Structure 1
Amino acid sequence: MTETLIPVFDGHNDTLLRHVMNEGTSKQVSFFEENKTGHIDLPRARRGGFTGGLFAMFTPSKYDDTSGVPFDPNDPANFAPIDQPGALIFTNSMFAKAQRLERESKGEIVIARSISEARTAMTAGKLVMIMHIEGAEAIDANFDALEVLYAAGLRSIGPVWSRKNIFADGVPMAFPSSPDTGTGLTDTGCELIRNCNGMGVMIDLSHITEKGFWDVAKISTKPLVASHSNAHALCPSARNLTDKQLDAIRESKGLAGINYHVAFLREDGAHNVDTSLEVLVRHTAYLVEKLGEDGVALGSDYDGCLVPSDLKDVAGLPKLMESFRSAGFGNQLIRKIASENWLSVLERTGI
């Protein structure tokens, strides 16, 4: 069975956030044991062919919330601005969690600082983490924290989550809605893009407004990447990409990662896990048509979203690969979507 698994390198998950938020509570679990909650742990990753990906460090607006209330996209408190010192402390806790997992794994987990290192580790059967910040509130206007976090292994940044900060404005979780919902990059945001280009840090455009997207497109010398966003033409969520944006991504030799969140897949935008994998395949086929076979990958949003019940968790990835195959995707295309396209675009970014 293991020999037939297609290796998957995924563009986005919130697993570190889940572990840090649950530490010291009744929800705390081990990453090294199979769990009945969440989407990713090491045993299920092995069973599903998940070889690693970009592990996000996201600071929620209520990062000290212990209420246990599920995330409500209609609650303004969940999108309130946060301060840089607090965000940096919380980001450090997620980075430290990743480093502890690497150490405690006794060689089974590797935080990769280059794609060469990632490829070597994946070939050796290790789980690869590439460190990503989702929403750059932890970065100060002088970029001192960027330098330190880069030295620790940070290789990807989304300037914003779905809230405004000193760098840019983010799109709301709105449906139906255009992504053209707010302002673009600030002057400091423009400097962030230039700094990241120079350092070899990927810029992730999944949560930025359409104006911000076009600002990045004008400044950046690297491929345009949206790590976990789908096709706006098939699901008119503000979080999805318009055809014009997809054209720009293709022209830059960039990439879009398919988000498994049902509300970003369904035509009606419903939060309904009774969603066929055919809907996810339809978005994938549309993006392949718009971006080409080298421009589409996976950006699950595991541990941060509602996935179709047939997929369930990372152990269900073989079902997704079979759905691609049943839809007529060839083995070479499936393998590109599953891992190779991510590795290639990260190499083109200079990582």
Structure 2
Amino acid sequence: MQLIFDGHNDVLLRLWEHAKLGADPVAEFVDGTNEGHIDAPRAKKGGLAGGFCAMFIPPNGDYPARELDANGHYNIPMVGPLEQPAALNTALEMAAIAFRLERADALAICRSTADIRAAMDKGRFAAVLHIEGCEPIAGDLATLETLYAAGLRSLGPVWSRHNRFGHGVPFAFPSSPDTGPGLTAAGVALVKECDRLGIMIDLAHITEQGFWDVARESTQPLVATHSNAHALTPISRNLTDRQLDAIRERKGIAGLNYATTMLRADGLENTDTPLSDMVRHIDHMVERMGIDCVALGSDFDGATIPAAVGDAAGSQALVEALRAAGYGEDDLAKLCRENWLRLLKTVWREA
């Protein structure tokens, strides 16, 4: 079994939402559930040893509907902005769930690659705290210092909505990621502060202009934790070949997103999506960037994924498909975990 360290999941969001309805998030994670994609038993069964655990602030009200036209095309309206104090409260509530899980010995909040390897050796889920969309962070960035002290080591300036730091892409198919402006002046300051602190910057939801703004302002490798190849699935969330080339040049990473809408040539939300579509995107990214710049970024608990994987327990199905496609064990180790650990060692400025 190849242990997997994954680029993106929303398990904290799921646990937080269920806690609001009266569930015990520790029991749900430790004992297991039929809900969502990740808990400790299913992670262990599938070799999902850890990953970036997002603190994502959901929109006020319902998510807009995905309405398809006669050709199966869609452009989901973007949700409105969030207020910073309320967003921060939600992020802290999600972080508190992670701390409770750590006290229960169910996971380890990791601040270094040594922490990640130690957690994996002990069979504890190796969690890196991540903010997806920086609405919780105040414009003066003082909040960032506190969150960093609490364990935050990765963030995406925007989700697929705009905020004080920049502009996100909508969920649209077919669509270029070049959908609007990029970083604001506050976003430039955020990027520079992340570089100073050693916080990884995730470009998964930002506009193409924002991608190039970060490339210009940051000295760190370019990273898109859960994005695929636009050449194969032309959804706005996927990366153009030019963006993939830039990631390669900066020795960064793109992590394969398991969302069917980002894998299928027709962009549909359909669980009857073959593993070959996942392998096809890996092949394209490896051919474009090299094996060292590709990893996994499942989007477990945040997306509709192929039934052939199902949930964390089925994680090895993709590994087996890649093995059958000719990837050797050394390359599989890189795709599953070692590329993430190499990159984090650089971004976190470890010796």
Q: Distance in 2 between matches of 1:328 and 1:43?
A: 30
Partner of 1:215: 213
SS at match of 2:298: coil
Residues 76 and 171 in structure 2, CA contact (< 8 A), matched pair in contact too: no
Q: 1:96 and 2:91 equivalent?
A: no
Residues 3 and 337 in structure 2, CA contact (< 8 A), matched pair in contact too: yes
Sort the Cα spacing of 1:73 and 1:133 in 2 relative to 1 into closer, same or farther, 3 A: farther
Q: CA deviation at 1:23?
A: 1.2
SS at match of 1:320: helix
Q: CA deviation at 1:71?
A: 6.5
Partner of 2:136: 138
Q: Distance in 2 between matches of 1:256 and 1:100?
A: 31
SS at match of 1:233: coil
Sort the Cα spacing of 1:220 and 1:103 in 2 relative to 1 into closer, same or farther, 3 A: same
Write out the 4+ residue segments of structure 1 that deviate beyond 4 Å after TM superposition. 26-29, 73-78
Q: 1:84 and 2:46 equivalent?
A: no
Q: CA deviation at 1:113?
A: 0.9
Q: CA deviation at 1:186?
A: 0.6
Q: CA deviation at 1:26?
A: 6.9
Q: CA deviation at 1:193?
A: 0.3
Partner of 1:56: 54
Q: CA deviation at 1:124?
A: 2.4
Question: Unpaired runs of 5+ in structure 1?
Answer: none
What is the CA deviation profile of residues 119-158 of structure 1, one whole-angstrom value per residue up to 9, with x for unaligned ones?
2221222211000000001111111110000000000010
Q: Distance in 1 between matches of 2:65 and 2:40?
A: 29
Sort the Cα spacing of 1:320 and 1:191 in 2 relative to 1 into closer, same or farther, 3 A: same
What is the CA deviation profile of residues 325-346 of structure 1, one whole-angstrom value per residue up to 9, with x for unaligned ones?
1111111111110011111111
1:1-351 equivalent positions in 2, closer than 5 A? 5-25=1-21, 30-62=28-60, 72-73=65-66, 79-105=79-105, 108-350=106-348
SS at match of 2:108: strand
Q: CA deviation at 1:70?
A: 7.1
Kindly provide the amino acid, as one letter, of the partner of residue 189 in structure 1. G
- TM-score normalized by structure 2? 0.94
Q: Distance in 2 between matches of 1:55 and 1:122?
A: 15
SS at match of 1:324: helix
What is the CA deviation profile of residues 183-221 of structure 1, one whole-angstrom value per residue up to 9, with x for unaligned ones?
011111000000000100000000000000000001110
Q: Distance in 2 between matches of 1:186 and 1:274?
A: 40
* Identical columns (%): 51
Q: CA deviation at 1:226?
A: 0.1
Q: After alignment, is 70-79 or 331-340 more displaced?
A: 70-79
Question: Unpaired runs of 5+ in structure 2?
Answer: 68-74
- TM-score normalized by structure 1? 0.94
> How many pairs were matched up?
340
SS at match of 1:297: strand
SS at match of 1:285: helix
Kindly provide the amino acid, as one letter, of the partner of residue 286 in structure 1. H
Q: Distance in 1 between matches of 2:342 and 2:87?
A: 31
Sort the Cα spacing of 1:83 and 1:9 in 2 relative to 1 into closer, same or farther, 3 A: same
